[in-house]
Amino acid sequence: MPSSLSRAIDSYPNRFDPGALGALPEHLQETIRRRNEVLGPGYTLIYREPVEFVSGHGAHLVDREGNDYLDAYNNVPCVGHAHPRVVEAVSRQMAAVNTNTRYVQEALVGYAERLLATFPGGLSKVSLACSGSEANDLAMRVARFHTGGEGIIVTRWAYHGLTREVASFSPSLGPGSPLGPNVRLIDPPDPRLVAPGSTLAEHMRLQVRGAIDDLERHGYRLAALVADCAYSSDGIFTDPVGYMQAVVEEVHAAGGLYIADEVQSGFARLGDSMWGFSRHDVLPDIVTMGKPMGNGLPISGVVFRPEVAEEFGRSVRYFNTFAGSSVPVVAAAAVLDVFDEENVQQRVVENGTALRAGLEELTQASPYVAEVRGSGLYIGVEVVKDPETLAPDRARAEDIINDLRDRRVLISGTAKGAHVLKIRPPLAFSSADVARFLEAFAEVAKVRL
Amino acid sequence: MPSSLSRAIDSYPNRFDPGALGALPEHLQETIRRRNEVLGPGYTLIYREPVEFVSGHGAHLVDREGNDYLDAYNNVPCVGHAHPRVVEAVSRQMAAVNTNTRYVQEALVGYAERLLATFPGGLSKVSLACSGSEANDLAMRVARFHTGGEGIIVTRWAYHGLTREVASFSPSLGPGSPLGPNVRLIDPPDPRLVAPGSTLAEHMRLQVRGAIDDLERHGYRLAALVADCAYSSDGIFTDPVGYMQAVVEEVHAAGGLYIADEVQSGFARLGDSMWGFSRHDVLPDIVTMGKPMGNGLPISGVVFRPEVAEEFGRSVRYFNTFAGSSVPVVAAAAVLDVFDEENVQQRVVENGTALRAGLEELTQASPYVAEVRGSGLYIGVEVVKDPETLAPDRARAEDIINDLRDRRVLISGTAKGAHVLKIRPPLAFSSADVARFLEAFAEVAKVRL
């Protein structure tokens, strides 16, 4: 196996190993063989036995045989698979018209107003795009333009997207995708990395300061620090909060911007606030969002402090054909409707708390679980070889993930070591779903933990 | 007016001038004021009096007052606004499920097979993305990875997209968006630029050779030549064909790839073939597509010769969340259904030929029309100050565009001089639509040409 092959595969948690194709049920083999024949780069299935779904509702997915799976992994269908409110809005708009932002669209304006109303004052302009990658790409174009700097700081195993620019500051893509010479890495906010006698805020401040110094030593002024407020690919670090003020002070002192990447953490995922940055009581210069925004229709957004985007807007043409067109916008508006009507955020807090408490109880005696982390409905369970060294135990983590999949409960993995269980269900996850999840997890834990 | 402002505005054909807000009808003023309040960079309305549409069908759009407009501009809703086949497919899939490519999806595989069947042998792998920009960004990542080169050649006023990478080789974005130091520009294939005694093929070959030499002199090996097969933003140059073989020979000799950007020219837009490159009897290494692919749902694609993408696929992770998810894929499949059922390509040839012939007849006596160009339903009418100097007449072109708009016929402008009428209707354009268009154009031509 060439080393580049092993490197790319290594970095993908819970991947399906194409070499295991022959062991799958016949009909799956056939579809996957045809798939391999026609699909180009970028297609990885997950689970030792991949799954195909034909319908869904709430946090449930149904396969061809009619089996019901509990979805504890997909963040995109945030208000639930095939939510009737979203289905109805999209179907109605499809039958009317789907035009672009070169024309006046009352619905676009109304949506922008509603979205911005969820932000603190000062963050008052929004541009739409199609994907989180496009949102982060635009955010960085604006940050570079506004600051005149090129330096970028991200966490050690961050993922921010897949355009060439954004991939250059997404270390989790692995060695096949080189980082830019203008990119510096810092630790995620893992309290276990803090030296005795110091604080997380001080630790993070020193790391940022060090990165800025090193950038400047190499001739790069800082453009921006970009941080996923859930540090998803680093292994999910949501708490404690409160260190970001120190970080943002350093960034601003160096003339850089703070870009809050809320593609994962936004839209109430973390429960106690609509946006992850709010938990830290700081004001970003730019906020990006995506995945759950349209409950699956491709739409993403970039929210700005107007000062940082004004000159860019005057100087650079930017027309994103599909972004802000009528259909994705009504989907996104329907998501906000459901947030209101179903009191989604409150449900996330309640069910997230119950889910985390249950997981803590089921894992507290295990020497193989270092931590249960997270907030709201974003939970990481760190699986290690032993509690002293904290060495990642990818094999055990993937056994758990696949044992759960065999019990028709869907999660996956994250972190550089691919050893952190990633539990990130649709926000439609109910208390009954919590109970079913914990029941399945308890069975698996008996064998694996 | 600061110079950067004037530069950005200058480059946008047929823009609405925000300074003219006060002259608009009251309700439009109000919506546009709210729009300006909340939208960030990237929003430009078109026409002196912007329009809002609430429904559409075929090549027709309807405003709030129920007025019917003939759409001779929008290429995205290619099979027609709100085509029932697409509406039905999307509504049904929305109500079932919308999952991603980490799961097995028979429909994705089936679509990929059907799409690839429209390509000549050798172009046999496809990766999906959300937008033409993402498609071109991925194509260039692969080209850089495969060739180890960085040099890029595009035409002088090309547009390929809006990510940082793609913007760096999109000169039509204007001086506010600087080109990369690794980017070289060549003329579009305008036969009028060919020296006496030479041929278009020889002219293009020499330009490419010169660009490669200059890149190499600056230390850049060629990664790719990227060409929009309709040269849309350069001013629409579809004919004569046949020069691309010479161009591709030079590109391959230098170790570079030929990327055919079919975001504008693909899906039978040019009438006599499904893909623009086929008209030249050449085989690209990579083909990108987008806009009309899902009739308005965000979906784009990159088709590869497998050799150029293989190592990239092994070495670089690429997971595009929304790309290839169930709903955009059924929309794209419905578009192919309609192509078959309605014999779309044949209709494009017939109505495109009639439209072009009518335009030629209506403009042949005018000293202000240098050329009527194009193929299929992509037509450019070059408006000049006089037939000798060919100096662009932007003011006259925009008068024509807005006179037509006042007659409820929608077109817009293109080219560096913003002086080429861009006539690019949905492929649903019927022979009755051709007649209505020519009737309105004749009235406008009487005054303006």
Mean pLDDT of B377-382: 98
Architecture per CATH, A51-79+344-448: Alpha-Beta Complex (3.90)
Point out which residues pair with A321 in neighbouring strands. none
Per-position DSSP letters for A103-146, written without gaps between them: SB-HHHHHHHHHHHTTS-TT--EEEEESSHHHHHHHHHHHHHHH
Cβ of B98 and A296 within 8 Å? yes
Helix (H, G, I), strand (E, B) or coil at B60: strand
Cβ of B319 and A42 within 8 Å? yes
pLDDT in tens, B139-178: 999 999 999 999 999 999 999 999 999 999 999 998 889 9
Mean pLDDT of B72-79: 98
Q: A259-290 in b/e burial notation, b at 16+ Cβ within 10 A? A: bbbbbbbbbbbbbbbbbbbbbbebbbbbbbbb
Banded model confidence at residue B12, pLDDT cuts 50, 70, 90: confident
Phi, psi of A296, deg, nearest 5: 125, -25
Banded model confidence at residue B42, pLDDT cuts 50, 70, 90: confident
Per-position DSSP letters for A277-333, written without gaps between them: GGGGT---SEEEE-GGGGBTBS-EEEEE-HHHHHHHHHH-----SSTT-HHHHHHHH
Give the pairing type, strands A257-261 and A286-289.
parallel
**Single-letter code of the amino acid located at A263:** V
| Residue A285 token pair | 């210069």
| Residue B423 token pair | 């006539």
Q: Which regions of B23-137 does DSSP assign to beta strands (E)?
A: 53-57, 60-63, 68-71, 125-129
Phi, psi of B45, deg, nearest 5: -85, 160
Q: How far apart are CA B201 and CA B208, in angstroms?
A: 11
What is the per-residue pLDDT for B9? Answer: 58
Taking CA atoms, B6 is separated from A317, A410, B306, in Å, by 12, 54, 45
Binding-face residues of A in 103-132 toward B, CB within 8 A:
103-106, 108-109, 112-113, 116, 124-127, 130-132
Q: How far apart are CA B1 and CA B449, in angstroms?
A: 32
Phi, psi of A443, deg, nearest 5: -60, -45
Q: How far is B235 from chain A (nearest CA, A)?
A: 18
Average per-residue pLDDT for chain B: 96
Q: How far apart are CA B53 and CA B71, in angstroms?
A: 11
Nearest to B339 by CA among B22, B86, B10, B34: B86
**Single-letter code of the amino acid located at A64:** R
Taking CA atoms, A97 is separated from A294, B66, B247, B334, in Å, by 17, 14, 41, 17
- Please check whether residue A142 is in contact with residue A286, taking contact to mean a CB–CB distance below 8 angstroms: yes
Q: How far is A217 from chain B (nearest CA, A)?
A: 23
Q: How far apart are CA B362 and CA B443, in angstroms?
A: 10
- Please check whether residue B159 is in contact with residue B232, taking contact to mean a CB–CB distance below 8 angstroms: yes
Binding-face residues of A in 230-269 toward B, CB within 8 A:
none
Mean pLDDT of B170-190: 95
Kindly identify which residue of chain A lies nearest to residue B324, measuring between CA atoms: A43
**Single-letter code of the amino acid located at A30:** E
Close Cβ partners of A235 (under 8 Å, ≥ 6 residues apart) = A157, A188, A190, A373, A380, A382, A414, A415, A416, A420
What is the per-residue pLDDT for B258? Answer: 98
| Residue B349 token pair | 């040839």
- Please check whether residue A51 is in contact with residue A405, taking contact to mean a CB–CB distance below 8 angstroms: yes
Q: How far apart are CA A273 and CA A296, in angstroms?
A: 22
Give the pairing type, strands B420-423 and B378-383.
antiparallel
Nearest to A312 by CA among B181, B157, B8, B161: B8
Architecture per CATH, B84-341: 3-Layer(aba) Sandwich (3.40)
Q: How far apart are CA A135 and CA A159, in angstroms?
A: 13
Task: Give the length of chain A.
Answer: 449
What is the per-residue pLDDT for B285? Answer: 98
Taking CA atoms, B98 is separated from A191, A294, B22, in Å, by 38, 11, 44
Kindly identify which residue of chain A lies nearest to residue B163, measuring between CA atoms: A137
| Residue B77 token pair | 């809703």
What is the per-residue pLDDT for B326? Answer: 98
Which site among B31, B38, B46, B285 would you substitute to test the A interface, given the most A Cβ atoms closer than 10 Å to its Cβ?
Answer: B38
B26 touches chain A (CB under 8 A): no
**Single-letter code of the amino acid located at A292:** P
**Chain A residues closer than 8 Å to B108 by CB:** 35, 39
Nearest to B247 by CA among B169, B149, B170, B155: B155
What is the per-residue pLDDT for B175? Answer: 86
Supply the DSSP symbol for B208: H
Query: Which residues of chain A, if any, have pLDDT below 70?
Result: 1-10
- Which of B41, B144, B321 has the CB atom closest to A127's CB atom? B41
- Using the predicted structure, report yes or no on whether residue B365 has a pLDDT greater than 90: yes
Q: Is A65 exposed, middle or buried (0-12, 13-18, 19+ CB in 10 A)?
A: exposed
What is the per-residue pLDDT for A243? Answer: 97
**Single-letter code of the amino acid located at A380:** G
A315 touches chain B (CB under 8 A): yes
Task: Please report which helix (H) or strand (E) contains residue B210, including its range.
Answer: helix B200-217
What is the per-residue pLDDT for A2? Answer: 40
Helix B84-96 / helix A84-96 crossing angle, nearest 10 deg:
170
From first CA to last CA, the distance across chain A in angstroms is 32
Q: Is A197 exposed, middle or buried (0-12, 13-18, 19+ CB in 10 A)?
A: exposed
- Please check whether residue B178 is in contact with residue B168, taking contact to mean a CB–CB distance below 8 angstroms: yes
A291 touches chain B (CB under 8 A): yes
Q: How far apart are CA B11 and CA B339, in angstroms?
A: 35
Q: How far apart are CA B80 and CA B75, in angstroms?
A: 9
- Same CATH topology for B51-79+344-448 and B84-341: the answer is no
Nearest to A61 by CA among A409, A413, A431: A409
Rounded to two decimals, the ipTM of the complex is 0.97
What is the per-residue pLDDT for A42? Answer: 84
What is the per-residue pLDDT for B7? Answer: 56
- Which of B76, B164, B173 has the CB atom closest to A165's CB atom? B164
Q: What is the dihedral of CA B19, B25, B29, B35, to 10 degrees?
A: -100
Q: pTM for the whole thing?
A: 0.97
Binding-face residues of B in 149-178 toward A, CB within 8 A:
162-165, 167, 172-174, 176-177
What is the per-residue pLDDT for A376? Answer: 98
Task: Give the length of chain B.
Answer: 449
| Residue B91 token pair | 């509504």
Domain ranges across chain A: 1-46, 51-79+344-448, 84-341
| Residue A329 token pair | 């916008």
Close Cβ partners of B346 (under 8 Å, ≥ 6 residues apart) = none
**Chain A residues closer than 8 Å to B101 by CB:** 43
Nearest to A264 by CA among A425, A119, A100, A75: A75
pLDDT in tens, B84-125: 999 999 999 999 999 999 999 999 999 999 999 999 999 999
